[in-house]
Amino acid sequence: MTLELQGIGVSRGIAIGKAHILFHNQPDVREYLIPAFEIEQEVDRLLNATEKAREQLMEIRKHIPANAPTDVTSFIDTHILMLNDSSLTTVPSDMIRSRRCNAEWALQLQRDALINVFNEMDDPYLRTRRDDVDHVVNRIHRILADEQVADHEISDGRLKGHIIIAEDLTPADTVLMQHQGIAAFVTEHGGTTSHTTILARSLGIPAIVGIESVRRYIQDNELLIIDGELGTVIAGADQKTINEYQQRLFKFKQHIASLSRYKSQITQTKDNKSIKLLANAELPDDIKMISNAGAEGIGLYRTEFLYMNRSSPPEEEEQLAAYRDVVESIDAPVTIRTFDLGADKTVDGGRNIGQTATNPALGLRAIRLCLSQPNMFRTQLRAILRASAFGKVKIMFPMISTQQELLQTQTQLRNCKEELTREGLDFDPYIETGVMIEIPASAVCAEMFAKQVDFLSIGTNDLIQYTLAIDRIDDQVNYLYDPLHPAVLRLIYMTLQAGSKHDITVSMCGEMAGDPRFTRLLLAMGLDTFSMHPNAILEIKQIINETDLSKLPENALQVLNLSDPFETEALLQKINSRN
């Protein structure tokens, strides 16, 4: 009998393989009293276990493939750093001494205290990071219980070609399993933004999350089919279905392999419209990927990384060095976005600014924060301007919503230019400036901004969030996050029209720009500059180069007026069918 289970497809790809069910349950933690003369021994037991957990993670870190994106390493590093932190060493050690309790219990109490703090945080991104605490504490608990099953099970080579079925997976598990050549994984927990999910996408492992009690329905070693895009798990499939999926898998692999030939091709539709494909970069290491991906420049350089893992913002010279590195390593324009801290991007170097807002996404973030911290903003503007002496740089401002904000920003920039001139420091006096269109108000008034800047860039991640009033990282309302909502499409279209009327470039740098489902629709709407994760560039280039704009359905833009999602989907399919 065929069983089909539906979850959330978080990393696309087809996999066919035998199930391997992981049952590493939470260790059973009990409390007991330690005799006074054994207290220090118990503290040592805890610290040795913590050290061993650290060593295990350092070992796992070595298995990260050299070409893996930086976030793979940084997720493991986060766990290593946590193991060095006094909250998991000194605090539970002191508890063992004061309560005379066993190491497991002290660790559990500290885990509960930390989880409570995370639960109370307003910032939803940080709230979701309680998973990290659990993953790290579980690893120590397993060592204390002398149960290293998980890593052994994961790393002994038995998993090659298997589909892993687990309650949850840690980033470390994911790295080890990828090293073992697993075909896919399915978990009971996890959401689209969990670290494990992001890792799966970066490492190219098909993955499905959120199938409650999946381990009860699937048997060890039974043959499964996974569709990581649709989120379906099929068990007990008949031969016809297996053959069908084998063909799809074959085609998917062929498709990925065939993309490399697009690297050296120019990006142009069949009817000769030139399109610009730019890359989004988040971390200095992304730059390596960009040169390989065939991008014509950087359309969004997120600078928030400079403010991470530190207690004070970076100084001008440090920022200049970072920007200069990028500008000099890529022979194409680099669009540097001023810091977009706040809300989902609250990081140490900017965390203590302002009060905690009830709705951080609607609070003091992005340009609002820049303008409320003139010194911090000035430091960044000076550094970006100075970097423009070393190559082509553009400046982009996030989340501008009013004329006043734009004027204040331009005044700040002008002041910085005057200062640098007085100081005899070089910069490009004609540096181009642009604003991100991320708020419905800005899209509606895009013309007002188009008259005053050199370019606009549509940030669909936020534009969708604000248009549909859906927190982009809240798993409970993610299902409403719909790039095809007519309101979203109309705002995008208005922005494109405003750009064309005032003859300035409008690019798109949100996730939508790198999603192959929307490429043709966006082309039909007039978008000609896309900026995306470097991994997505070749696939999007293929679609563009195989599109004849004159042959797209004449009613393509009807999508802006359709209220029935089924009709929208049908029209999208028509647009995406071969032409």
Residues that bind ligand PEP (CB under 6 A): 300, 302, 340, 438, 459-462, 509-510
Q: What residues contact residue 160 under an 8 Å CB cut-off, 6+ apart?
A: 180, 181, 182
Length of the chain measured in residues: 579
Query: Cβ–Cβ contacts within 10 Å for residue 102, how many?
Result: 21
**Using CB distances below 5 to 8 A depending on partner kind, what does residue 474 bind out of ligand PEP, Mg ion, none?**
none
Binding segment (CB under 5 A) for Mg ion, from list 39-47, 68-76, 432-440, 447-455: 432-440
Measuring CA to CA, which residue among 308, 379, 392, 278 is closest to residue 338?
379
Angle made by CA atoms 536, 538, 541, in degrees to the nearest 5: 105
Least distance to ligand PEP, CB of residue 532, Å: 10
The answer to whether 152 and 205 have CB atoms below 8 angstroms apart is: no
Give the count of residues interacting with Mg ion (CB under 5 A): 3
Give the residue from 464, 473, 449 showing the smallest Cα distance to 512: 464
| Amino acid letter, 350 | G
Nearer to ligand PEP (CB atom), residue 460 or residue 542:
460
510 binds, among ligand PEP, Mg ion, none (CB under 5 to 8 A by kind): ligand PEP
Q: Which is nearer to ligand PEP, 166 or 525 (CB)?
A: 525
The CB-nearest residue to Mg ion is: 462
Sites for Mg ion among residues 14-73 (CB under 5 A): none
Stretch that binds Mg ion, among 53-61, 73-81, 438-446, 539-547 (CB under 5 A): 438-446
Which residue bears the tokens 């970006």?
A: 384
User: What span, in angstroms and rounded, lies between the C-alpha atoms of 24 and 138?
Assistant: 10
Among ligand PEP, Mg ion, none, what does residue 365 contact (CB within 5–8 Å per kind)?
A: none
Among ligand PEP, Mg ion, none, residue 170 binds (CB under 5-8 Å by kind): none
How far is 549 from 324, CA to CA, in rounded Å? 39
267 binds, among ligand PEP, Mg ion, none (CB under 5 to 8 A by kind): none
**Per-residue x/- track, 461-490, Mg ion (CB under 5 A):** -x----------------------------
Q: Nearer Cβ to Mg ion, position 169 or 436?
A: 436
Our CB check for Mg ion shows the closer of 339 and 390 to be: 339
Query: Smaller CB distance to ligand PEP: residue 105 or 481?
Result: 481
Which of 385, 389, 506, 401 lies closest to 454 in space, CA to CA?
Answer: 506
Among ligand PEP, Mg ion, none, the one that 123 touches (CB under a kind-dependent 5 to 8 A) is none
> Nearer to Mg ion by C-beta: 234 or 399?
399
Please say which residue, 6 or 372, places its beta carbon nearer to Mg ion.
Answer: 372
CB 434 within 8 A of CB 502: no
* Contact by Cβ (8 Å): 23, 218: no
Q: Choosing among ligand PEP, Mg ion, none, which partner's interface includes residue 498 (Cβ < 5 to 8 Å by kind)?
A: none
The active-site residue out of 141, 195, 416, 533 is 195
CB of 304 to Mg ion, least distance (A): 11
Minimum distance from residue 412 beta carbon to ligand PEP (Å): 21
> Closest separation between CB of residue 331 and ligand PEP, Å?
24
For the bound state, the minimum distance from the C-beta of residue 531 to ligand PEP, rounded and expressed in Å, comes to: 8
Are residues 325 and 303 in contact, defined by beta-carbon separation less than 8 angstroms? no
Question: Which strand (E) or helix (H) includes residue 279?
Answer: strand 276-281
Instruction: Provide the minimum distance between the beta carbon of 461 and ligand PEP in the complex, in angstroms, as a whole number.
Output: 3
Here the contacts of 23-29 (C-beta below 8 Å, separation 24 or greater) are 23/215, 24/142, 24/147, 24/149, 24/150, 24/153, 24/166, 25/167, 26/138, 26/141, 27/104, 27/138, 27/141, 27/142, 27/144, 27/145, 27/147, 29/104, 29/105, 29/107, 29/108, 29/141
Among 294, 459, 483, 514, binds Mg ion (CB under 5 A): 459
- Catalytic residue flag (residue 502): no
Per the annotation, the verdict on 195 as an active-site residue is yes
State the alpha helices, DSSP H only, in 259-373: 286-293, 316-329, 348-351, 366-372
Q: Which residues are catalytic?
A: 195, 509
Chain positions contacting Mg ion, by CB under 5 A:
438, 459, 462
